[in-house]
Structure 1
Amino acid sequence: MSEKQATQNNPIYPIMIAIGVAHLINDTMQSVVPAMFPIFERDLGLSFTQLGVITFVLNMVSSALQPVIGFVSDKKPMPYALPIGMMSAFVGILMLVLSGQYWMIIIAVVFLGFGSAIFHPEGSRVSFMAAGNKRGLSQSIYQVGGNSGQALAPLISAFVLDSLGQHGAAIVLLLAAIGIAILLKISRWYIRQLEAERTSQKKKKILISSLPPLTKKQVSFAIILLLIIIFARSFYTTNITSFYVFYLMDHYGLTLQFGQVLIFIFMAFGVVGTFFGGSLSDRIGRKNVILLSVVVPMPFCLILPYMPLWLVPVVLIIIGTLIMISFSVTVIYAQELVPTKIGTMAGLTTGFAFGMGAIGGVIIGFLLDNIGIDTTMKIISFLPLILIVAFLLPKDKVEKLA
């Protein structure tokens, strides 16, 4: 790994890629949980509501702690929090493999959620520190890693868990060990960066915002709008990634494997959208990319429940690519709203996304149990209409930032 020190303008690509790979491993571990839902339903007889509660606990633990950890790390950076977080997730996966009862699964996902809460704010900070003048690109590489890990979940479900059951999740433990090793190296680089700043008596690196000067009221309003956008996006994507496979099996008569392949297609093209979103925002502006992710996929979300099977992959590709194109951009936009609180804003936005996924999991599970799969999917298809609040966001400047 590069010994090079980051400067204000020079991106450190080895670190950007390494933290992206670590993010991939971290989110693969988190994604094993929804990937196991069909197995839990089949082998343990869990209801959709119980599956929703598992999602709630996993995401809510992460959601509640991420802003706190981000706030603390803004005051005192914690380089070794990164491998510690992945060690916690390792314990969670190990418990998940050995769990035979519902309460044990709940405890396992608490460890996973805690690991995620530790990893994400500090991981985002490392991405920022290594970015130089390529903030959009760096954040995209970081988020692509995470989204790629999430995209692996349907394949793990279809081709590992379906045949091996929940014990098949043990394969992820090898990834976790690799991730811990990577994060130990990143932590050492992180420490050298902090020491270099102290030795040269440089001021703490502050993000240069592309937004015009805003009053506190305008900043607060913009943050609320961002959280509404994250709410609708997270709620909708949770429905697709965790529960849409049941609709595919029930409505179209697909096998679990084929259904999970379609979910993988959605998530894989979400990775593509995430990658291009950050660098695109460097060129056309953060708000314009957010608007692109709102306007174009909305009609496709509305028609998805009514599509013939042969058109479902096409619609999923369009929705996945475009609704996720703003994933990294909302984090950058929030950080530029409050440029002195990089970790706090990363923790707030990603933590809120996890929290909305948690609430969405419980609500969708309850609806599935009480009004049926078909009706639930049609109701959820209207949720992206909320995203039109993005038009009210302050306009940012489009320029190369120093």
Structure 2
Amino acid sequence: MPERRRAVRLASGHVCVDVYQGAVAALVPFLVAGRGYGYAAASGIVLAASLLSSVVQPLFGALADRRPMPWLIPLGTAAAGGGIALVGLDAGYPATVAAVALSGLGVAAYHPAAARLVRTGAGGGGHTAMSWFALGGNIGFACAPLLVVGALSLPGAAPWLLLALPAVLGVVLNRPRPAAADPAPSAVAAEGAPGAAAAAPEDVRAFLRLSLVVVVRSVVFIGLSTFLALYVAARGGGGTGGAAALVALYGGTAAGTLLGGRLASSWGRTTAVRRAYAVAAPAVAGVLVLPLPLVYGCAALAATALYVPFSLQVTLGQDYLPSRMGTASGVTLGLTVSVGGLASPLIGAAADAVSLRTALLPLAVLPLLAWALARRLPEPAPPAQAQAQPPSQAD
């Protein structure tokens, strides 16, 4: 029961942090209209946030692996919210970029340490706990536009103070507790079987293969989320139809995130990952070739299939590198996702050269590549759980 409460608390804290990942993109129209930034300047703001929030995550993960740093979680939360609040000072473009970069740095500091704590708190298993943690991030990201639009409709400096409130709540939720301190790798081993984590070999080859799978998945989902609304509008759905398609897409992400933990308990993680990618391929193809009314259902199904592996890939990475869980979390949650996002400008350039549908067609094939790569992923035994439970109960 204490582990469940801690998982719920960390998932709730994840909501508060990932509000600030979604807030940057939501702020861009207001900054363009209110401060006269051009498109290049606006893209620079988004780039500063995304690079620091994703690329730097493995570095913070490595720090969390070297020594327990539970204080890094509330500190990262405070930095994420404080950076966005500082944007309201309007001290010039460089200061705005620096404030957004501070927010991204806070997001990067939070995720590896928090994901490691979710896993160690579950005694080495925790696929369902990781699913709830990932769902918290999805909810925070989805709520960001509503928070930004609602806050910035108020006059004066109040909107920027209001935007800092989720960070205040997140710091309270994620403050270090003596009973829930993040154990060192050797302590994680002791929770289940003495010396289990220390004796567990690292499978670097499997981790690199998994990282490729995550990159491919990221290309598909970011490509869909970036261009789906435009694609539906171009097919006659209009702006309302495009927004409805995004609602279906994001609703599918929540369903897939929760479903992943349940399927892993029944099938095992690697089997659940492979089957999810096998379903994703025809679902993405349906978005691109079926009549418009069916596109919404296919978008929801595609997002569900692409998000079933999301939390499972985090725990797989942690088990492939059992003594470097923070580093594995930083790579699977941050670095590989940002690398996948680099494909979006290429899709846009191809759409300008030919057509949007033609440019998006490769996205229907990429899940098959992820499936093929995932076929050779081994199912590792969770470090502390492997000897603490009978083999028939382990994933």
Shorter-chain TM band? 0.7 to 0.9
Match of 2:245 among 262, 278, 293: 262
Tell me how far apart the structure 2 counterparts of residues 299 and 29 of structure 1 sit (CA, whole Å).
33
Aligned: 1:301 with 2:297: no
Give the C-alpha shift of residue 61 in structure 1. Answer: 1.4
Moved more, 93-102 or 52-61: 93-102
Tell me how far apart the structure 2 counterparts of residues 26 and 113 of structure 1 sit (CA, whole Å).
10
The answer to whether the Cα contact below 8 Å between 1:227 and 1:352 also exists between their aligned partners in 2 is no
Tell me how far apart the structure 2 counterparts of residues 67 and 37 of structure 1 sit (CA, whole Å).
27
Letter in 2 for 1:124: A
Aligned to 1:244: 228
Q: Deviations over 1:62-83 (max 9, x none)?
A: 2332111111111211111111
Match of 2:104 among 104, 113, 118: 113
Aligned to 2:297: 314
Tell me how far apart the structure 1 counterparts of residues 19 and 306 of structure 2 sit (CA, whole Å).
20
Tell me how far apart the structure 1 counterparts of residues 37 and 72 of structure 2 sit (CA, whole Å).
37
Tell me how far apart the structure 2 counterparts of residues 151 and 373 of structure 1 sit (CA, whole Å).
25
Give the C-alpha shift of residue 143 in structure 1. Answer: 0.9
Tell me how far apart the structure 1 counterparts of residues 145 and 242 of structure 2 sit (CA, whole Å).
9
Tell me how far apart the structure 2 counterparts of residues 368 and 161 of structure 1 sit (CA, whole Å).
35
5+ residue gaps, structure 1: 1-9
Aligned to 1:336: 319
The answer to whether the Cα contact below 8 Å between 1:66 and 1:118 also exists between their aligned partners in 2 is yes
Moved more, 313-322 or 382-391: 382-391
Letter in 2 for 1:79: P
Letter in 2 for 1:386: L
Tell me how far apart the structure 1 counterparts of residues 102 and 187 of structure 2 sit (CA, whole Å).
32
Match of 1:77 among 59, 68, 78: 68
Distance 1:126 1:396, change over 3 A: closer
Tell me how far apart the structure 1 counterparts of residues 91 and 366 of structure 2 sit (CA, whole Å).
35
TM-score of the superposition, structure 2-length normalised?
A: 0.81
Tell me how far apart the structure 1 counterparts of residues 332 and 257 of structure 2 sit (CA, whole Å).
15
Give the C-alpha shift of residue 318 in structure 1. Answer: 0.3
Tell me how far apart the structure 2 counterparts of residues 329 and 138 of structure 1 sit (CA, whole Å).
11
Moved more, 284-293 or 101-110: 101-110
Match of 2:328 among 328, 334, 345: 345
| SS in structure 1 at match of 2:68 | coil
Give the C-alpha shift of residue 99 in structure 1. Answer: 5.3
Tell me how far apart the structure 2 counterparts of residues 45 and 247 of structure 1 sit (CA, whole Å).
27
Tell me how far apart the structure 2 counterparts of residues 171 and 307 of structure 1 sit (CA, whole Å).
43
Provide the aligned C-alpha RMSD in A: 3.7
Letter in 2 for 1:342: M
The answer to whether the Cα contact below 8 Å between 1:121 and 1:346 also exists between their aligned partners in 2 is yes
The answer to whether the Cα contact below 8 Å between 2:235 and 2:292 also exists between their aligned partners in 1 is no
The answer to whether the Cα contact below 8 Å between 1:20 and 1:141 also exists between their aligned partners in 2 is yes
Aligned: 1:234 with 2:215: no
The answer to whether the Cα contact below 8 Å between 1:122 and 1:343 also exists between their aligned partners in 2 is yes
Distance 1:134 1:227, change over 3 A: closer
Letter in 2 for 1:323: L
| SS in structure 1 at match of 2:308 | coil
5+ residue gaps, structure 2: 382-390
Letter in 1 for 2:131: S
Number of residues of Structure 1 aligned to a counterpart in Structure 2: 378
Letter in 2 for 1:113: G
Aligned to 2:386: none
Tell me how far apart the structure 1 counterparts of residues 238 and 153 of structure 2 sit (CA, whole Å).
17
Match of 1:391 among 366, 369, 375: 375
The answer to whether the Cα contact below 8 Å between 1:148 and 1:268 also exists between their aligned partners in 2 is no
Letter in 2 for 1:77: P
| SS in structure 2 at match of 1:254 | helix
Distance 1:137 1:244, change over 3 A: same
TM-score of the superposition, structure 1-length normalised?
A: 0.80
Tell me how far apart the structure 2 counterparts of residues 369 and 102 of structure 1 sit (CA, whole Å).
30
The answer to whether the Cα contact below 8 Å between 2:288 and 2:361 also exists between their aligned partners in 1 is yes
Aligned to 1:278: 261
Instruction: Map residues 94-133 of structure 1 onto 2, 5 A cutoff.
Output: 94-97=85-88, 106-132=97-123
Tell me how far apart the structure 2 counterparts of residues 119 and 95 of structure 1 sit (CA, whole Å).
19
Percent identity over the alignment is 24
